[in-house]
Amino acid sequence: MKKLSIVVPCYNEEESVTLFFSTVKEVINKINSDRKVIVPEYIFIDDGSSDDTLKEIKKLNKQFPDVVHYQSFSRNFGKESALFSGLEKSTGDYVVVMDVDLQDPPELLSKMLSLIQNSDYDCVGTIQKERLGQSKLRAFLSSSFYKVVNKVSDVYIEPNARDYRIMTRKFVNEVLALPEFNRFSKGIFSWVGFKTTYITYESQPRVAGKTHWSLQQLFAYSIEGIIDFSDVPLKLATWVGSISFILSILGLIFVIVRALTVGGSAAGWPSLVVIILLVGGIQLFCLGILGQYISKIYLETKHRPIYIVREDA
Ligand code: UDP
Ligand code: MG
């Protein structure tokens, strides 16, 4: 009998935990109704919630101590950290990552499970069709992000793929073998390779609570995705620098030749100021790009833990 680990990152989701568990349990029972196909293991990660999320998880753990496990962080470390610790704690032959807000439809589990068991895919992911309630601006930013990241990075990131995915043990072990502190899972899942296929579904509303992503956080997350998997911005800085250098040499030659032939002129202060500002701007822009990479290196070299556990069961 194969074991399925269900990894569930939770941050301030007190209303969703029990509902999530009962819904998924029903789906698993249905999968096992004809013959027992899979043994589930639930791994809830409480990502430093400030509400009663941990209390709800503990209730489930008390009720089903062999099936429900949890880990509670010392503070909020972010979904990426929660996901990583969940994968580390998982022991199943297959591991599925699910949001607790039921936006990742549990009904798909049966299809995902049979795909991964009966084909040679190592990972079955999900793609959400157009997001419910998403503003035009967010949709535009999101599609631009995928365009840019897939143009500049070493890995292909499937547009609109969710973190909802089922993986084989082999796949999970390789994901865990990447020790980086700056974790951009969408990129890591793609970087490790193997064979992945995707199922598409209609987007679902949250059962309770609200999303934790502000536009600003999404923007930072996008920059993270680009910086973590691409050195194109650095190359861009070099290119912009080189081009402005060549242009300035050409300009210098022009000024010298003009001074020697028709004589110099004092006119042109405004254009001079504009050029100084432009070059200064380009320099700062390139320095900023460098700074982004240096800050990532800085964080990596500190070798800080990806998460800190306060309680574990
Ligand atoms: N989450 C988390 N830590 C965080 C933010 C979110 O563990 O710092 C969890 C959250 O509880 C949920 C999942 O990650 O189960 C996805 O979060 P959310 O629903 O806010 O994202 P969205 O579905 O809007 O992309
Ligand atoms: Mg959600």
The pLDDT tens digits for 55-112 are 999 999 999 999 999 999 999 999 999 999 999 999 999 999 999 998 889 999 999 9
> Residue 133's pLDDT band (boundaries 50, 70, 90)?
low
> Residue 189's pLDDT band (boundaries 50, 70, 90)?
very high
Per-residue pLDDT, 256: 81
pLDDT mean across residues, the chain = 88
Angle 136-152/215-229 helices, nearest 10 degrees? 10
Quick one: residue 58, left, alpha or beta (phi over 0 = left, psi -120 to 50 = alpha)?
alpha
Cβ(211) to ligand 1 under 6 A? yes
Instruction: Kindly report, residue by residue over 165-177, the tens digit of the pLDDT.
Output: 999 999 999 999 9
The pick from 99, 104, 135 for probing ligand 1's pocket by mutation, whose C-beta has the most ligand atoms within 8 angstroms, reads 99
Instruction: Kindly report, residue by residue over 195-239, the tens digit of the pLDDT.
Output: 999 999 887 777 777 877 788 888 888 888 888 888 888 888 888
Nearest ligand for residue 80 CA: 1
Nearest ligand for residue 20 CA: 1
Alpha-carbon distance of 77 to 215, in angstroms, equals: 19
Cβ(47) to ligand 1 under 6 A? yes
Q: How far is the CA of 247 from the centre of ligand 2 (A)?
A: 50
Atom of ligand 1 nearest to the CA of 82: 7
Taking 80 as the threshold, does the pLDDT of residue 132 lie above it? no
Q: How far is the CA of 288 from the centre of ligand 2 (A)?
A: 32
Per-residue pLDDT, 91: 95
Q: How far is the CA of 99 from the centre of ligand 1 (A)?
A: 7
DSSP β-ladder status, 161-168 and 123-128 = antiparallel
User: Can you read off the two tokens belonging to residue 132?
Assistant: 């419910």
Nearest CA to ligand 1 atom 8: 78
Alpha-carbon distance of 186 to 99, in angstroms, equals: 15
